[in-house]
């Protein structure tokens, strides 16, 4: 399974999960089978509010889930349409959220829980 974590700085398992999918500087994609990370810089980071292109941001990489502090409606809808499930980060680090995910303790983000815009403190337990 491949799980995407939007982050600003790559510190592996110690990376802080970012508070908003579209404005994260990079994505860490953790492969549970290989026990390895792939880092990808977000080329869509400076998009206008509401114009996030999640598949451009992810560079077409295949994954199974996203764990993030918050996400806008367009990105959430696009990811969900492609079969990706998006979960709300509850801990601050990748390691904490990965452990919670494995325990089945993370809630899937619904359209009713989306962010209103970049930097508006959406989500909880996420980094800057």
- The reply to whether 121 falls in a domain is no
- The reply to whether 127 falls in a domain is no
* Total domains in the fold of the chain: 1
What DSSP designation does 77 have?
A: H
Range of the domain at 35: 2-113
User: Is residue 78 very low, low, confident or very high in pLDDT (cuts 50, 70, 90)?
Assistant: confident
We report the CATH number of the domain holding residue 109 as 3.30.420.130
pLDDT tens digits for range 42-72: 876 554 455 455 555 566 778 899 999 998 8
User: Is residue 37 very low, low, confident or very high in pLDDT (cuts 50, 70, 90)?
Assistant: very high
Instruction: Single out the residue of 44, 47, 83 nearest to residue 62, CA to CA.
Output: 83
Q: Which tokens go with 127?
A: 């980094």
pTM of this prediction? 0.82
């Amino acid at each position: 399974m491949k799980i995407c974590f939007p982050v600003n700085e790559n510190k592996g398992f110690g990376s802080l999960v970012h508070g908003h999918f579209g404005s994260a500087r990079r994505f860490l994609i953790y492969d549970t089978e290989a026990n390895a990370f792939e880092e990808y810089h977000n080329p869509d980071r400076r998009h206008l509010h509401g114009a996030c292109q999640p598949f451009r941001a992810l560079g077409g990489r295949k994954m199974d889930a996203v764990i993030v502090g918050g996400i806008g409606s367009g990105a959430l809808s696009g990811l969900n349409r492609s079969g990706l499930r998006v979960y709300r980060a509850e801990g601050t680090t990748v390691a904490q959220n990965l452990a919670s995910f494995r325990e089945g303790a993370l809630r899937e983000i619904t359209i009713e829980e989306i962010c209103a815009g970049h930097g508006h403190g959406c989500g909880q337990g996420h980094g800057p």
